[in-house]
Chain A
Amino acid sequence: MAESIYRELILEHNKNPQNRGTLDPADYSYQDTNPLCGDEVRIDVRVADDKISEIAFSGRGCAISQASASILTEMVKGQPLDEVKALSKEDLLDELGIPLSPARLKCALLSLKVLKAGIYGVNAAEDVWQ
């Protein structure tokens, strides 16, 4: 049921997003859109000692895309880059903990696609939307 995707966690992150903003300069910056919904997410990352030391996201879109970006930035902040690289879409979806239709999956995974494309290149992000 569509309603159950708006669980407390999603609504809370949508209302009070974490790490919202931009970093300038940043070591990695990337932005992409979900053409289906018009969701936009940009993520800026600073790296120190092979770890994500700072991260910020900006953009606009549906609650799922924006809450997912907020949750993702919380998940990876302070994490070593190789662990971030290994982060799968299932990891993010588990964290979101909501049932999503194929159309809404793209909203939820846009942030991960942007993060991976920004740090590791577009090819590394290909599997996220597969």
Chain B
Amino acid sequence: MVLSTQTSATTLDGAALRRDFPILNQPQPEGRPPLAFLDSAASSQKPEQVIQAIDTYYRTINANIHRGVYELSEAATAAYEAARQTMATFLNARQARECIFVRNTTEAINLAANAWGRSNLTANDRIVLTVMEHHSNLVPWHMLREEIGFSIDYIPLTDDHQLDMTVYAQLLEQKPKLVGFAHVSNAIGALNDVAAMTRMAHDAGAAVLVDAAQSVPHMPVDVQALDVDFLALSGHKMVGPMGSGVLYGKRELLEAMPPYMGGGSMIRKVTLDGTTFADIPARFEAGTPAVADQVGLAAAADYLTAVGLEAIREHELELLDYAMEQLPSVPHLTMYGPEDLSKRSGVISFTLGSIHPHDVAAILDGENIAVRAGHHCAQPLMAALGVVATTRASFYMYNTRDDVDRLVAGLHKANEVFGQV
């Protein structure tokens, strides 16, 4: 790792960190500039350390876990459970068993919605979500509502594209059973005050589920300090492998929940008459899990810890600040999300005059700048903002001011190609 070149915990050398990420250093075709990867909010790139961890697992440890009595299987089981402990430490969970391994944030929320929701919600209940949610924190609840018939209220946006805390307080007066919200909006980068919102929810008697897919990779997240009841994350957005992730849940809540999926590994005893279920976390991990990927996720958590999440947050804020200085030079640019940078992550969502976001992204691709365009799986948020789609640039530890400069130049070019002066 390149950490030895760093001088303090709060400075981070994006250009140096890039050397850890093979995909960012691939040779480009003649005349094509290096890749400016500004789509980490969709999925981050992977450092050598994570790729190596997966490689080592398959070369030296691989066997099915929790089954064999032979040495290799025991080594694989130990690696898997060590990964769970690493994630618990990373999130500051009280116990490893509070971390359920899942494929991604979507699966984590589906697990919580089905296992907790089915045993806690009735037709007379209400839950509170927000208009800025990713579809992964809307659709599972919509599906469950179809079955159970509870009501869903949504916290709207303020004019500054933050959650409206006044309306939130009013919604809590109706005694919802659960409040679910994103720590950071994937589409506009709004950073929500999880600790304050959780206190308010608990005072009203509601449980709290946080979609932390866009925060855990970019800033310190301490589940005990935040006091959340459930927290969902995806490995692939935090320099870990695709197909890895965690649902954190408070032990007493998880222990009271019925299983979500049935099958191998999650049982205590099965007869032809029925099944008794294993304790947590196994109860929620039916079937052979993605052992190598969760081992890779632990390597990713170790990597983030070594780089320093405070330093990553500082670096991204610095890039955001720089981008906010440079971007206003681009004619016709409209940006979305809070103006107060302390209430934002390193995500910039924008439209460029009458040019469709996909065309903007295609012009940028011509300059080898990777951004996302579309509704960002947040159609209700797009509707609230009055747009069909936006183009989104998102920063991570390996981005530099040069990436921002190229983005700005690319947007000038898009205006030029479309004759927008």
Kindly state whether residue B207 has any CB partner on chain A within 8 Å. no
CA distance A21 to B331 in the complex (A): 30
Kindly state whether residue A2 has any CB partner on chain B within 8 Å. yes
Kindly state whether residue A121 has any CB partner on chain B within 8 Å. no
B388 and A3 contacting across the interface, CB-CB below 8 Å: no
A62 and B419 contacting across the interface, CB-CB below 8 Å: no
With contacts A2-B365, A3-B363, A60-B388 taken as known, whether A11 is within 8 angstroms of B356 at the C-beta atoms is: no
Kindly state whether residue A37 has any CB partner on chain B within 8 Å. yes
A107 touches which of B355, B358, B363, B417 (Cβ 8 Å): B358
CB distance from B179 to the nearest CB of A (A): 30
B375 and A6 contacting across the interface, CB-CB below 8 Å: no
A2 and B356 contacting across the interface, CB-CB below 8 Å: no
- Which residues from chain B contact A63 at a C-beta distance below 8 Å? 355-356, 359, 418
A64 and B359 contacting across the interface, CB-CB below 8 Å: yes
B417 and A3 contacting across the interface, CB-CB below 8 Å: yes
- Which residues from chain A contact B418 at a C-beta distance below 8 Å? 6, 11, 14, 63
- Which residues from chain A contact B231 at a C-beta distance below 8 Å? none
Kindly state whether residue B362 has any CB partner on chain A within 8 Å. yes
With contacts A11-B419, A63-B356, A63-B359 taken as known, whether A2 is within 8 angstroms of B389 at the C-beta atoms is: no
B389 and A38 contacting across the interface, CB-CB below 8 Å: yes
- Quick one: which of A52-74 are within 8 Å of B by CB? 60-64
Kindly state whether residue B140 has any CB partner on chain A within 8 Å. no
Classify chain B's interface size: 10 to 19
Kindly state whether residue A128 has any CB partner on chain B within 8 Å. no
A62 and B417 contacting across the interface, CB-CB below 8 Å: no
- Which residues from chain B contact A36 at a C-beta distance below 8 Å? 374
Kindly state whether residue B366 has any CB partner on chain A within 8 Å. yes
Secondary structure at the A interface, as helix, strand, loop or mixed, is helix
CB distance from A88 to the nearest CB of B (A): 25
Classify chain A's interface size: 10 to 19
A2 and B362 contacting across the interface, CB-CB below 8 Å: yes
With contacts A1-B366, A11-B417, A38-B375 taken as known, whether A62 is within 8 angstroms of B359 at the C-beta atoms is: yes
CA distance A63 to B355 in the complex (A): 8
CA distance A14 to B420 in the complex (A): 13
CA distance A5 to B359 in the complex (A): 10
Binary contact readout A1-39 vs B (1 if CB under 8 angstroms, 0 otherwise): 111111000010011000000000000000000001110
CB distance from B29 to the nearest CB of A (A): 10
B358 touches which of A3, A4, A62 (Cβ 8 Å): A62
- Quick one: which of A81-122 are within 8 Å of B by CB? 104, 107
- Quick one: which of B353-383 are within 8 Å of A by CB? 355-359, 362-363, 365-366, 373-375
Q: Which 10 A-B pairs have the closest CB atoms?
A: A3-B366, A2-B366, A62-B356, A62-B358, A2-B365, A2-B362, A63-B359, A37-B358, A62-B359, A6-B417
- Additional A-B contact list (8), CB under 8 Å, known A3-B362, A6-B418, A38-B389: A2-B366, A4-B366, A6-B363, A14-B418, A62-B357, A62-B358, A62-B359, A63-B418
